[in-house]
Structure formats: C-alpha cells, structure tokens
Amino acid sequence: MFKETPKDRAQFAQADSDQIPYVAILAPKELAAGTVRIKPQVGKDVAGDAKGEEVQMSEVVEYLKAKLAVI
C-alpha cells in the first residue's frame, strides 16, 4: 500500500485485512544498516511486541521464499 503520509497503524490494519503473512519495514535505521525488518503479520493480539527479524537487503527474497514455503 502506498500513501504520501503513511500511518503505521493503518498499514498494519490493512495487512491484517488482506491476510498478508509478512510485512517489510524499511525505516531510517534499517536503511542505514542495509537491512529490511521482516515481521510476521499475524494480528496485533497474537504478535504481541514481536519486532521481526532484520534481514540483509540482498537476502530478503530468499528469506521470504523460505518462510512462505512452510505456510
């Protein structure tokens, strides 16, 4: 989902609504480190405070392929 002024809560709610299993977070910290934070999107009640995993940008596709293969 793209918006000019995105709100995190609305984007996560949309991911829940669309039943998207993982979200990719690219905040300034991750961008500076050359990583992407991949977070399981299982609904806020189940996820708790899970921060996800930081994955090198060059490894994101393989990481997600492996995760999605077991769903």
Residue 7 pLDDT: 78
What pTM does this model have? 0.73
d(CA 63, CA 32): 20
Which two tokens mark 24?
């990719």
Contacts of 63 (CB under 8 A, 6+ apart): 38, 53, 55
pLDDT at 56 over 60: yes
d(CA 58, CA 51): 20
Q: Identify the bridge partners of residue 22 per DSSP, sorted by sequence position.
A: 40
**Domain with 27 in it:** 8-69
Closest-CA residue to 65 (of 38, 30, 26): 38
pLDDT at 42 over 80: no
Asked whether residue 55 is domain-assigned, the answer is: yes
Counting the structural domains of the chain, the total is 1
Domain CATH code at residue 58:
3.40.50.800
